[in-house]
Structure 1
């Protein structure tokens, strides 16, 4: 992972995600971190008055933009003392909605990973819209993996990661290149867990060996677990907490866990309840 993209709206959650990205640089081969603020002004705001009969003037818009750039510069200066030596920190102010800004920067700057806070990070001037809604949209639209960082989480060296997947459904869908980029050079213990809502017992190792997931993950020497829990999300988060893991990895399109995350109400539940970062693979 050479380039991280960190959307920032200067909320505590977004700033925490930026510090997480800086700390993560010591455990990866990242060379560039992009701090990006999305500043969208609707044309109507410059033509029509709001409820207080106030119209935005161009001078006010430009002043706000300058303030945001200054805020990004201050954050860059703080993070420059925290990142691994040699890592470059760039700043970007995008005059578009957050989702469009993220998609554009990924394409223009070849970002490999998006890191964002689970709450905060609005795309409007007032700062009223939370990232809880945007996480869903960004996760769907992003062409690269997304790490969602809980607002109170402080970076810990990633020694153990929980990979949530359905043993029977995984075929060629594990993005192995991404996993190797993230974990290949690190001594990260991979814990592969299948949550069984039916409550039936299973021979974990035997079940895993009968599926494609066993061969694909062989190089990581993972440990396999089969957990009975009627609630998939609760089962995974409880397992991660019991194992004292530093990250949960969810696969796309193959597991009801991620499919549930991509539903607004469940994503808000995850953002509220997850105490460790969640990596959404693509």
Structure 2
């Protein structure tokens, strides 16, 4: 993960995510952080008047673009004193919708991780509509891991990471290589939680259950602790457990049963954005 991409819509949540990325650089081997703003102006806005009979002129579009570039550069200057020495910060203004901007930037810049605020991040001339649209779309479409940072969360060094999954349904879905890249050779404690809905059959020992699955072999080099939780609201249960154990990040696995699969439903995503006490890393 040598390059981070941070979408910026000039909201407080986006600024917070950018500051998080800068401070995270002290704990990772990132070499470059790209701040990107998606500035999309529909052709109709420049060719046809809106309901108020106002039509955008090319000079107005260019002026707005210049303002946005200036704001990105100001943020870059602020972050420069917060990153690890040697980390380069770059800015981009992309003339398209946010999702297209992110996907293109990932491909063109060998981005390894996208970091964004859990609310905001709307394309320029749209109202901020929260996590229900943009975060979900990026999480689904982006080919690299996505880290979602709660708007009020302030960076804390990652000492404990929590992975939540159903041990019985993991099979080959654990991106062990990505987990090793994130955790290997770093002093990070890994908690692996078998999370099921309350009322389902429990387990006598979480580690014993894990040993019967492919999960144990995949993660044994990371020396994880195995835990079991049962809660009628699985996401709430996982987040509460993360707080209880002092975890600084929750890692969501793709495929089969996973945290990611659950949060891609709009209502649950909005709940996560409002209540998650720590950043959530969506692996691919």
TM over 0.5: yes
Shift, 1:8, TM fit? 0.2
Q: Matched residue pairs, number? A: 282
Q: What's the counterpart of residue 76 of structure 1?
A: 76
Q: What's the counterpart of residue 248 of structure 1?
A: 250
Secondary structure class of the residue paired with 2:96 = coil
> Given the alignment of the two structures, is residue 134 of structure 1 paired with residue 134 of structure 2, yes or no?
yes
> Given the alignment of the two structures, is residue 239 of structure 1 paired with residue 241 of structure 2, yes or no?
yes
Shift, 1:128, TM fit? 3.1
Mapped to 1, the partners of 2:128 and 2:161 lie a distance apart of: 33
Secondary structure class of the residue paired with 1:105 = helix
Mapped to 2, the partners of 1:156 and 1:132 lie a distance apart of: 26
Shift, 1:126, TM fit? 4.8
Shift, 1:179, TM fit? 1.1
Mapped to 2, the partners of 1:126 and 1:208 lie a distance apart of: 46
Q: Which moved more, 1:18-27 or 1:194-203?
A: 194-203
Q: What's the counterpart of residue 219 of structure 2?
A: 217
Mapped to 2, the partners of 1:66 and 1:127 lie a distance apart of: 20
Q: What's the counterpart of residue 273 of structure 1?
A: 275
Q: What's the counterpart of residue 206 of structure 1?
A: 208
Secondary structure class of the residue paired with 1:123 = coil
Q: What's the counterpart of residue 193 of structure 2?
A: 193
Shift, 1:257, TM fit? 2.7
CA RMSD of aligned residues (A): 1.1
| TM-score, normalising length: structure 1 | 0.97
Mapped to 2, the partners of 1:264 and 1:184 lie a distance apart of: 33
**Structure 1 runs of 4+ off > 4 angstroms?**
none
Q: What's the counterpart of residue 109 of structure 2?
A: 109
> Given the alignment of the two structures, is residue 164 of structure 1 paired with residue 164 of structure 2, yes or no?
yes
Contact 1:192 1:225 in 2 (8 A): yes
Mapped to 2, the partners of 1:127 and 1:66 lie a distance apart of: 20
Mapped to 2, the partners of 1:101 and 1:62 lie a distance apart of: 18
Secondary structure class of the residue paired with 1:168 = helix
Report Cα offsets for 1:119-170 as digits up to 9, x if no partner. Answer: 0111132543334411110001000000000000000000001101110111
Q: What's the counterpart of residue 97 of structure 1?
A: 97
| Structure 1, unaligned runs of 5 or more | none
| TM-score, normalising length: structure 2 | 0.97
Report Cα offsets for 1:206-237 as digits up to 9, x if no partner. Answer: 10111110110101100000111121111111
| Structure 2, unaligned runs of 5 or more | none
